[in-house]
Amino acid sequence: MKYLAEHIRVLLYNGDMDLSCNFLGTQKVLQSHNWRGHGWADAARGLWKAGDDGDVAGAYQTLDNGKFSFLTVHKSGHLVPMDRPDVALDIVTRFISNRSFMDVALPSDGAYLEELRALRNEEAHEQHDDDDETPKHDHHDSILAPSAGVNNQAHEMGVSAKDSMSFVFGLLTGVVVLYLGQRTCAQTNRGRVGSTGGSPVTSYGGV
């Protein structure tokens, strides 16, 4: 087996629409095993172009300088030669002639994860620096720039003041109406006293 692993190239392939041998199951098996000391997370990744239109035909992963590889064939079921004959021909031709399927290189899973961790650490470091550089507001700043809660309280106080003004205006209107009514009644009584020649009489019943 060691001799075979060193001198025999191995290529696995699955159609991405294969319901009999799903490509996700193949990837799961590959991720749980090593090839000559290499983990599948370190496999080189890329896109493979083939077919009559030269479009992306699938995804390619390989270990040990192409000794162990896996192809995912796009738009194909279990029978790749029947579903994608032009692509199947390209697979056989490249494998026999020992040509790489790496037409567009992509970072490996391990490299991608390391880059993602580094990016997150950098963002966390920048956030920490921003927090340190944020100026601290003192009491005078809080007076000049009140918080949202203070603004809400002021708004509520403004609404209460408006209600109070409406109440005062109504109260003053009632007082004015009462005063005018009493004044009109007094003038009416004085007119009645003058017409009868008697002493002033306060009357509220029209007597």
pLDDT per residue rounded down to tens, the chain (207 residues): 677 767 889 999 999 999 988 999 999 999 888 888 888 888 899 999 986 677 899 999 999 888 899 999 999 999 999 999 999 999 999 999 999 999 988 877 777 677 777 888 888 877 877 666 665 555 444 433 444 443 444 444 444 555 555 655 666 666 666 666 666 656 655 655 454 454 444 444 443
For residue 206, being part of any structural domain is answered with no
**6 and 88: one domain?**
yes
Element spanning 143, H or E? helix 139-144
CATH at 80? 3.40.50.12670
**75 and 170: one domain?**
no
- pTM of the entire predicted model: 0.52
For residue 27, being part of any structural domain is answered with yes
Task: List the domain range (segments joined by +) for residue 164.
Answer: 148-192
Q: Provide the 10 A C-beta neighbour count for residue 1.
A: 6
Q: What DSSP letter does each residue of 147-195 carry, written as one string?
A: -HHHHHHHHHHHHHHHHHHHHHHHHHHHHHHHHHHHHHHHHHHHHHHHH
Measured CA to CA, the distance from residue 142 to residue 133 in angstroms comes to 19
Q: Could you tell me if 58 and 104 are in contact, meaning their C-beta atoms sit under 8 angstroms apart?
A: no
**97 and 183: one domain?**
no
For residue 177, being part of any structural domain is answered with yes
**How many domains is the chain partitioned into structurally?**
2
